[in-house]
Structure 1
Amino acid sequence: MSKTMKISESLIEIAKPYAEAQHRSVPKQIEHWARLGKAAEENPELSIVFIQNSILALAEEKAGMATPYSFGE
């Protein structure tokens, strides 16, 4: 389900270089920021780097790139 949303031109302009650097579209970059912001608000005790790495780990697991961790080895 796709909905149209009005996003300010200033936010779009700010997102452009970040999107290009991360090989994302501008809308995907803004979605990424929204996902990070939501997670940060829900978990104020966690650093943004930890949240970013957690999102990456979930995406890697979903893509079948996860490997089991062996404790004590």
Structure 2
Amino acid sequence: MSVSIRIDDALYETAKVRAKTEMRSIPQQIAYWAKVGRAALDNPDLPIEFVRDTLQAMEEESEPFEFPDE
């Protein structure tokens, strides 16, 4: 679903620059910021860097680790 919203011009320009450097579209960048912000508000005792890094790690593709048989 797509919804149009109005945002401040300065926020749009900042998102445009960050989106390019982080290889996202502008809507994806704003959605990412919203996701990080929501997680930070839900966990005020955690540093924002930890919240950001955890969300990024959750998005990465990975294979389960298997311990070798001894």
Q: TM-score range by the shorter chain?
A: 0.7 to 0.9
Amino acid at match of 2:27: P
Any gaps of 5 or more consecutive residues in structure 1? none
Whole-angstrom CA distance in 2 between matches of 1:59 and 1:13: 25
| Number of aligned residues | 67
2:13 is equivalent to residue 16 of structure 1: no
Moved >4 Å (runs of 4+): none
The within-5 A match list for 1:50-61 is: 50-60=50-60
Q: Distance in 1 between matches of 2:66 and 2:48?
A: 24
TM score, norm. by length of structure 1:
0.76
Consecutive unaligned residues of structure 2, counting only runs of 5 or more, are none
Partners in 2 of 1:31 and 1:50 — Cα distance?
18
Identity of aligned residues (%): 37
In the superposition, the TM-score normalised over structure 2's length comes to: 0.79
**RMSD over aligned Cα, in angstroms?**
1.7
Larger Cα Rg: Structure 1 or Structure 2? 2
